[in-house]
Amino acid sequence: MKFGIVVFPGSNCDHDAWYATSHNAGAQAQMLWHKDTMIPADIDCVILPGGFSYGDYLRCGAIARVSPIMTAVRKHAEQGKFVLGICNGFQILTESGLLPGVLLRNASLSFICKDIHLRTEQILSPFTSSFEQGQILRVPIAHGEGNYFADEQTIHILEQEQRVAFRYCDANGNITTEANPNGSINNIAGILNDKGNVLGMMPHPERCCDPLLGNSDGLGVFTSLMQTVGLY
Amino acid sequence: MKHFKAMITITLRKSILDVQGKTVEHALHSTNFTSIDQVRIGKYVELTVHAADTQQAMSIVDDACKNIIANPIMEDHHIALEEISVGEHA
């Protein structure tokens, strides 16, 4: 199992993603440059990491969307291979149209950097198969634009097709307004595409994979993929 | 070939709560600007474009707005065009 982590100018969680996948999860990982026009055939999962690609100019993810590697990322996804967008990576995926909807400014207008709780809503996906249904995870968020929005029809489809992978919840797993840090519709923290091979999420699983940090709740996202691909 | 200056205003779609606009609206009300009713905050983009005529220029800029400059899922855009002489900067 090999991860390819895209480095955009302004990415700042690329090394965290590399460390989590290679050191904590024990997979192979290599960095990919935003100017690359192809993704090596041995890459199973492309990670679009967190950060502020292109300084968040215009809109978060809007400029990264037109960078050369994104054409290759689209092809990679079309082949049924995996794409994981974390935080800014999620914003890039919505801007690219690889995932529906958009990430608006947080309802509080503040940049929020803290640990939150997530409820695992969908465990049949290749990104979540090692979790238990409803499992509560403690994962950090760090964003100013994480307020998931889509039109009513899109939300209806996402819910009906059970494509919400994670929701913000309280410590006991209750989906409440108080537990929603950014105003996202239906407390949505992460969604899957229709084929289930693309996941975008605002929380940072790669920042909680090392037991030394006191929390390895995020590791399951990467080990789920490794179990799916079948090559530890 | 004619040259135009395009003045593009981008605002959040009406269906989306403009929290920043609301906050400024409240701030204005609390400083006695009570005759101000609604505030919406957006972005302003100015660019120059060359095209055969106004219609073509408008079509190019509108296309650019729909593709990159604005995100139609959350934003509306409004374009105002002004013909400029060759070499004139915006």
- Identify the domain containing residue B67 by its residue range: 2-84
B9 part of a folded domain: yes
Contact across the interface for B74 and A149, Cβ inside 8 Å: yes
Contact across the interface for A104 and B16, Cβ inside 8 Å: yes
**Nearest C-alpha of chain A: how many angstroms from B60?**
18
CATH architecture of the domain covering A2-229: 3-Layer(aba) Sandwich (3.40)
Active site residue A113: no
Q: What is the ipTM of this complex?
A: 0.86
pLDDT grade for A230, boundaries at 50, 70 and 90: confident
B31 part of a folded domain: yes
Contact across the interface for A58 and B74, Cβ inside 8 Å: no
pLDDT in tens, chain B (90 residues): 999 999 999 999 999 999 999 999 999 999 999 999 999 999 999 999 999 999 999 999 999 999 999 999 999 999 999 999 976 654
Contact across the interface for B74 and A150, Cβ inside 8 Å: no
How does the average pLDDT of chain B come out, rounded?
A: 94
pLDDT score for A231:
57
**Nearest C-alpha of chain A: how many angstroms from B75?**
10
pLDDT score for A215:
96
How does the average pLDDT of chain A come out, rounded?
A: 97
**Nearest C-alpha of chain A: how many angstroms from B68?**
7
Number of domains in chain B: 1
Residue A182: closest C-alpha in chain B: B19
In sequence order, the β-bridge partners of residue B51 are: B2
Which strand ranges, in their side-by-side order, compose the sheet holding B2-12? B42-51, B2-12, B75-84
Compute CA distances B90 → A54, A95, A180, B45, B77, whole Å: 24, 29, 44, 11, 19
Does A66 contact chain B (CB < 8 Å)?
Answer: yes
Nearest to A58 by CA among B58, B33, B77: B77
Contact across the interface for B71 and A66, Cβ inside 8 Å: no
The predicted model gives A193-221 an average pLDDT of 97
B51 part of a folded domain: yes
With a CB cutoff of 8 Å and minimum separation 6, the contacts of A48 are: A6, A64, A73, A83, A84, A85, A86, A88, A89, A90, A92, A93
Contact across the interface for A109 and B19, Cβ inside 8 Å: yes
With a CB cutoff of 8 Å and minimum separation 6, the contacts of A201 are: A84, A85, A86, A87, A90, A165, A166, A189, A190, A191
pLDDT score for B86:
77
**Nearest C-alpha of chain A: how many angstroms from B43?**
9
pTM: 0.94
- Supply the CATH number for residue B78's domain: 3.30.1280.10
pLDDT grade for A182, boundaries at 50, 70 and 90: very high
B90 part of a folded domain: no
Does B71 contact chain A (CB < 8 Å)?
Answer: yes
B22 part of a folded domain: yes
Active site residue A169: no
Does B65 contact chain A (CB < 8 Å)?
Answer: no
| B13-37 pLDDT tens trace | 999 999 999 999 999 999 999 999 9
Active-site residue identified among A13, A60, A87, A209: A87
